[in-house]
Amino acid sequence: WKPSFPPPVTTNAATSVTTNSAVLNAAVNPNGDSTQVLFEYGTDINYGNQITASQSPLSGTGDQAASATLTGLSSNTTYHYCAKATNSGGTSVGEDRAFTTEDPCPSCSGANPVVKDVVFYSGTDCQCVGTESLTIGPNVTIQKDSKATFKSPSIRVTSPEI
């Protein structure tokens, strides 16, 4: 007879966070037992959704990495998540963590903003406002089916030397 123990689990920081996707990460010790790993996630601590880790089930001893890629997320939104691991010894739940998906519009407002090295992505409606002036510099891309509005008492378009 071998005693079974619930698998210790640590919810790690999310990585590769974009406007609509993120990779959830955890470390799990299966304690020598086949261990199912999933992530619960949602816009609050009630979660409401779950996804199985791509490495599940885990086996062996010692901490092992587990991850899952979320897609179809809403932009500029905070998501909560936690890892959950289950084996014959029971279930362990990692701590709640959170990440915020990126805003699809660049930060380009203020007294004298300089807009450069940015992309206004397809399907977005972005607005840049300069209360005193606004400078549009090099490497500004406005993709098809996007809308970029520039408002200021003074707007200047510059060459790549900016």
For residue 78, which of 96, 50, 99, 95 has the smallest C-alpha distance? 99
Per the DSSP assignment, residues forming a β-bridge with 149 are 127
Rounded to whole angstroms, the Cα distance separating 140 from 45 reads 38
The mean pLDDT of the chain is 91
Cα 65 to Cα 71: distance, rounded to the nearest angstrom: 20
pTM, 2 dp: 0.77
The larger pLDDT score, comparing residue 144 to residue 51, is at: 51
Indicate whether 83 pLDDT > 60: yes
37 within 8 A of 26, measured Cβ to Cβ: yes
Q: Give 137-146 pLDDT, tens digit per residue.
A: 888 888 888 8
Peptide bond into 57 cis (omega under 30): yes
- Residue 160 pLDDT class (50, 70, 90 cuts): low
